[in-house]
Structure 1
Amino acid sequence: MEMTVVDRWLLPEGVEELLPAQARQVEAIRRQLLDLYRGWGYQLVIPPLVEFTDALLIGMGRDIDVNSVKVTDELTGRMMAIRPDITAQAARIDAHSLCSDDVTRLCYAGSVLHTKPKSLMASRSPIQVGAELYGEASVAADIEVVSLMVETLHSLGIADITLDFGHVAIFRTLADQAGLSEEEETELFEVLQRKAADEIASVINRCIDDAVLGEQMLALSKLQGDVSVLHRAANLFAGAAPGIIEAIDELQRVAEKIQGRYPSLNLYFDLTELRGYHYHTGLVFGAYAPGCGYAVANGGRYDDIGRVFGRARPATGFTTELKSLLNLATSVEVDGDIIFAPYREDAEQWKQVQQLRSQNQIVICGLPEQNVNAECTHILVDDDGRWSIESID
Structure 2
Amino acid sequence: MSVSSDSAKLAQSNTTNQTVTHPATNDAISNQNRSFSNFTKDVANSWLLPDGVVDVLFEDAHKQEVLRHRLTQQLITHGYQLVNPPMIEFTESLLSDASEDLKRQTFKIIDQLTGRLMGVRADITPQILRIDAHWGGTGIARYCYAGDVIHTLPSGLFGSRTPLQLGAEIFGCASLAADIELVDVLFTMVNMLNMSAALHIDLGHVAIFKRLAQLAQLQDVDTEQLMHLYANKNLPELKKVCQSLPMGDDFYVLARFGHDIANLLAKLSATAQQDHQIVTAIDELQRLKAHLQDQWQCAVSIDVTELSGYHYHTGIIFNGYINSETQPLVRGGRFDGMQSGSQLAGHQPREATGFSMDVSRLLAHTQLNAPTVVLVDYEASQSIDDEQKQLLLQQVESLRQQGYRVTVPLNAEDRPTNVTHQLNLVNHQWQLQTL
State the TM-score, normalizing by the size of structure 2. Answer: 0.83
Counterpart code for 2:430: W
What corresponds to 1:280 in structure 2?
Answer: 313
**Offset at residue 37 of structure 1 (A):** 1.0
1:100-140 deviation per Cα after TM superposition (whole angstroms, max 9, x unaligned): 22211111111111111111121111111111111111001
**Offset at residue 214 of structure 1 (A):** 0.8
Higher alpha-carbon deviation: 279-288 or 54-63? 54-63
Q: Distance in 2 between matches of 1:243 and 1:377?
A: 62
The partner residue of 1:58 within 93, 96, 121 is 96
Does the Cα contact within 8 Å between 1:95 and 1:306 map onto a contact in 2?
A: no
Counterpart check, 1:234 vs 2:262? no
What corresponds to 1:185 in structure 2?
Answer: 223
What corresponds to 1:106 in structure 2?
Answer: 143
Q: Distance in 2 between matches of 1:11 and 1:242?
A: 53
Larger Rg over CA atoms? 2
What corresponds to 2:280 in structure 1?
Answer: 246
- Unaligned runs of 5+ residues in structure 2 are 1-37, 383-388
Q: Distance in 2 between matches of 1:160 and 1:142?
A: 21
Does the Cα contact within 8 Å between 1:283 and 1:300 map onto a contact in 2?
A: yes
**Offset at residue 322 of structure 1 (A):** 1.1
Identity of aligned residues (%): 35
Counterpart code for 2:267: L
Higher alpha-carbon deviation: 60-69 or 278-287? 60-69
The partner residue of 2:191 within 146, 154, 168 is 154
Measured on the aligned residues, the alpha-carbon RMSD in Å equals 1.9
SS for the counterpart of 1:327 is: helix
SS for the counterpart of 1:221 is: helix
Normalized per residue, the structure richer in helix is 2
Dislocated runs of 4+, deviation >6 Å: none
What corresponds to 1:9 in structure 2?
Answer: 47
Q: Distance in 2 between matches of 1:382 and 1:39?
A: 43
**Offset at residue 275 of structure 1 (A):** 2.7
The partner residue of 2:400 within 343, 346, 357 is 357
SS for the counterpart of 1:4 is: helix
1:233-262 deviation per Cα after TM superposition (whole angstroms, max 9, x unaligned): 121345422211111011111122222211
**Offset at residue 195 of structure 1 (A):** 1.2
Does the Cα contact within 8 Å between 1:275 and 1:284 map onto a contact in 2?
A: no
Q: Distance in 2 between matches of 1:90 and 1:306?
A: 12
Higher alpha-carbon deviation: 163-172 or 304-313? 304-313
The partner residue of 2:156 within 105, 119, 123 is 119
**Offset at residue 357 of structure 1 (A):** 2.0
Q: Distance in 1 between matches of 2:112 and 2:236?
A: 51
SS for the counterpart of 1:305 is: coil
Does the Cα contact within 8 Å between 1:223 and 1:272 map onto a contact in 2?
A: no
Q: Distance in 1 between matches of 2:45 and 2:120?
A: 24
1:22-70 deviation per Cα after TM superposition (whole angstroms, max 9, x unaligned): 1111111111211211221112111111111221122231111111111
- Unaligned runs of 5+ residues in structure 1 are none
Q: Distance in 2 between matches of 1:364 and 1:335?
A: 17
Q: Distance in 2 between matches of 1:155 and 1:273?
A: 29
What corresponds to 1:74 in structure 2?
Answer: 112
What corresponds to 1:270 in structure 2?
Answer: 303
Q: Distance in 2 between matches of 1:253 and 1:239?
A: 23
Does the Cα contact within 8 Å between 1:112 and 1:125 map onto a contact in 2?
A: yes
Does the Cα contact within 8 Å between 1:128 and 1:322 map onto a contact in 2?
A: yes
**Offset at residue 202 of structure 1 (A):** 3.7
